[in-house]
Each structure stands twice: as C-alpha cells, then as structure tokens.
C-alpha cells in the first residue's frame, strides 16, 4: 500500500530525493510530536497522583513542587517514532542513504543499549536519588560502547592543526567527550526551557545537515527526538504550576538527551565516509558551546573556593543572568539567541574555510565576552542595591 502511494507520487512528477528528504524530516518529527502530546499530560497526571515532585530549595529557581518526570517520555517516544519511520521507509523501498547497513545496525543497537542504561539511571535518580560518583561511572561505561562499536573520532579536521589521530588518542577522547556532553546538558538544566531549547536547536541543526547530505537514517533519529521535545518544551515553559500543568525533564531527560547528542556529534565527526564536511566536528560543538564552556568555568570557581568541583551551586550562566535582574524566561531566550548566533558564525566561517583553530578561539573569546558583560551588569545591579 505504502509502496503503491510512493509510485503514484513518482508518476505524478514528484522528485524522489525531495520525497526522501521530506519523509526523513517530517514523518519522524510528526510521529514524535503526536506521541509526546499524548504521553506528557499523562506523565503529569501520574506524577501528581503519586506526588513525584521536585521540591524547591535554596539552589533552585522554582518556588513550589513541580513534577520532574517529563524526561521519562523521551526514550520510549524516540524508539517508537524512529522504528516506525524506518519500518515505513523500508516498506516503501526508499533505501537511499542506508550504506553499510550492518555497521549502522550495530552502532544504533549500541546507542539504544547505552541510552537505556542512562535512562534507567536517570529514573532512579529522579525517584530515589543516585550519587554523582555512581552516575559518573555509568556514564563512562555507556561512553565505552561507542569505540566498542567502532565509532570514535579519527580526525580533528585541522583543529589545533591536527588531522588524523591514532586510536589510543581518539578512543579516550571520544569517551571523554561523551561524558562531558552528557554532563553539560544535565548541568545546564536549571531554567525552564533552556536545556530542551538548546538541545532542540542542536538537533535541528544536526538533522538538517544530515538531510542536506542525504544521511536519512541520521536525520530520522535527530527529528524523532526533536519532535518529543516540542510538547515537553511547551509544558515546561508555558505550563501553569498552580494548575498542575508544569513539568521538568529531570535527570532521566537530560542524561538521555546528552547521550544522544554526543552520539550524533561523534558520528558526524568520525571518518565513516558519511559525506559530512570535515568541519562538522566544530560546527556540531558550536550548537552546545554555552553549556560546554560553562562546566570548566563553574568547576574552577568551586576549586578556588575550596569546594568539591562536583557539588551543585548557583554559579551557572543562567544563574548569573538572573542575578542581573533578568527574569527566567528572558534568561532562556537570551541564551538561545546567543547560541543561534554562535552557530551561524561558526557555520559561515567554516564554509569560508577560515582556520578551524582560529574559529574555536574566537568562539571561546565570544563566550568570555558574554560572561564579562554579565559580570558588569551584576556589579551594576549590586551597586544600585547599596
């Protein structure tokens, strides 16, 4: 039936590549969005009935208990929409973009295993709590699945004037980056819509890059996750807490998102003849430059103060913006706009073949300038109080 419909469209003059591109982006996105709108309200209902709340404290922005199991929908919806999209795709015989299928299957199975382990770890943390040491060990074990499946960074594409690197450097680097990205998303989740908004921008950027390069399988998984983030983001940002319509993603969601994004970035940066431009590693990391830069700054500040670098505090970039007097909503909007600007700058300069190390240095300097501007307004705000 589906193949018959596709044949009719072709006979009507539809372009095959355009049909594939439309399918790979629209179908998984719509499926995930519909499933998200179906599941998120029900998770809210269960959370309220079972009193599964994130309780406010001195470090948190919200002032009343909020359900924190929104992220429990991410992995199941991703799996359902992705598998449905692939199943329909194969029934319609749209096999373009599925090169080296046995390798792809192995790597996506490894991804599913790692995501499931982190998903269950996140659920345990949201319900009963898991120490940061235990979470760290689990993240490392899940990260090891990437090089185990043959997926690791072989080439830095001229970054730091390096190109092809040996396995004994590339594999540990890959594990480090997976753990780093996963924690970056987890730690930036402190303001409504910020972590999900940043991940949505990243998923859209990476998904469109894959679509343009006809990497349809890659595109499907990006838009499958993007779709479920849409209803969650709506409830997270615009939901009314007093009416029980607001929800957080919790560690279940942030760990799942961080792991998937690290998989996509490493995949695009690896030498698999996937057709991605060699500057994709840098362009991919520009989509998450704000949370990635925030981790070392916050940890160094904690060490200088003689505290454990893994202890939580209110020194993240979103906390700093709010100390200037900015409301949480506009804090989220500001950081998303800055992210879009940094992505555009990085993509344009990579396309112009500017030295990649120089691009990275400029990106870092722009991030430092942002913090200096924020510090200026914090000092101004504190001076007005005196």
Q: Specify binding-site residues for Mg(2+).
A: 186, 251
Separation of alpha carbons 78 and 227, rounded Å: 9
Q: Round to whole Å and give the CA distance between 152 and 204.
A: 23
Which phi-psi region, left, alpha or beta, contains residue 161 (left: φ > 0; alpha: ψ -120 to 50)? Answer: left
Residues with Cβ within 8 Å of residue 337, at least 6 apart in sequence:
none
Instruction: Return the bridge partners of 53, or none.
Output: 67
Quick count: other Cβ atoms within 10 Å of Cβ 101?
10
Element (H, E) at 41: helix 16-49
Q: Do 198 and 285 form a contact (C-beta atoms < 8 A)? A: no
Helix, strand or coil, per DSSP, at residue 53:
strand
* DSSP β-ladder status, 53-54 and 66-67: antiparallel
Binding residues, as ranges, are 186, 251
**Beta carbons of 164 and 208 less than 8 angstroms apart:** no
DSSP 8-state secondary structure symbol assigned to residue 67: E
Burial class (CB in 10 A: 0-12, 13-18, 19+), 230: middle
108, two tokens: 């996506």
CA distance 360 to 68: 35
Instruction: Tell me how far apart the terminal alpha carbons of the chain are, to the nearest angstrom.
Output: 73
Q: CA-CA distance, 154 to 166, in Å (whole number)?
A: 7
In contact, 288 and 198? CB cutoff 8 Å:
yes
**How far, in Å, CA of 309 to CA of 301, rounded?**
8
């Amino acid at each position: 039936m589906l193949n018959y419909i596709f044949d009719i469209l072709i006979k009507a003059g539809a372009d095959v590549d355009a049909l594939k591109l439309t399918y790979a982006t629209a179908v998984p996105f719509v499926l995930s969005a519909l499933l998200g709108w179906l599941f998120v309200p029900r998770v809210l209902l269960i959370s309220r009935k079972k009193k599964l709340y994130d309780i406010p404290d001195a470090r948190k922005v919200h002032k009343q208990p909020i359900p924190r199991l929104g992220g429990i929908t991410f992995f199941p919806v991703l799996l359902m929409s992705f598998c449905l999209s692939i199943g329909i795709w194969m029934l319609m015989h749209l096999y373009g973009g599925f090169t080296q299928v046995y390798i792809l299957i192995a790597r996506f199975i490894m991804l599913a295993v790692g995501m499931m382990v982190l998903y269950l770890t996140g659920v345990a943390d949201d319900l009963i709590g898991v120490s940061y040491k235990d979470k760290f060990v689990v993240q490392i074990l899940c990260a090891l699945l990437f090089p185990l499946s043959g997926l690791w960074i072989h080439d830095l594409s001229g970054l730091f004037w390096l190109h092809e690197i040996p396995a004994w450097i590339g594999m540990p680097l890959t594990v480090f980056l997976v753990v780093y990205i996963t924690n970056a998303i987890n730690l930036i989740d402190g303001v409504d819509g910020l972590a999900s908004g940043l991940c949505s921008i990243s998923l859209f950027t990476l998904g469109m890059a894959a679509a343009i390069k006809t990497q349809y399988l890659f595109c499907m998984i990006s838009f499958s996750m993007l779709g479920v983030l849409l209803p969650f983001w709506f409830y997270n940002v615009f939901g009314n807490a007093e009416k029980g319509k607001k929800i957080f993603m919790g560690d279940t969601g942030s760990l799942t998102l961080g792991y998937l994004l690290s998989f996509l970035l490493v995949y695009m940066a690896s030498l698999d003849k996937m057709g991605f431009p060699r500057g994709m590693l840098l362009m991919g990391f520009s989509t998450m430059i704000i949370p990635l830069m925030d981790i070392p700054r916050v940890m160094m500040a904690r060490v200088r103060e003689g505290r454990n670098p893994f202890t939580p505090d209110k020194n993240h970039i979103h906390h700093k913006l709010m100390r200037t007097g900015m409301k949480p909503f506009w804090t989220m909007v500001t950081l998303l706009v800055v992210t879009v600007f940094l992505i555009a700058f990085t993509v344009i300069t990579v396309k112009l073949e500017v030295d990649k190390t120089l691009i990275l240095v400029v990106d870092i300097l722009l991030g430092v300038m942002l913090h200096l501007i924020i510090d200026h307004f914090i000092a101004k705000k504190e001076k007005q109080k005196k």
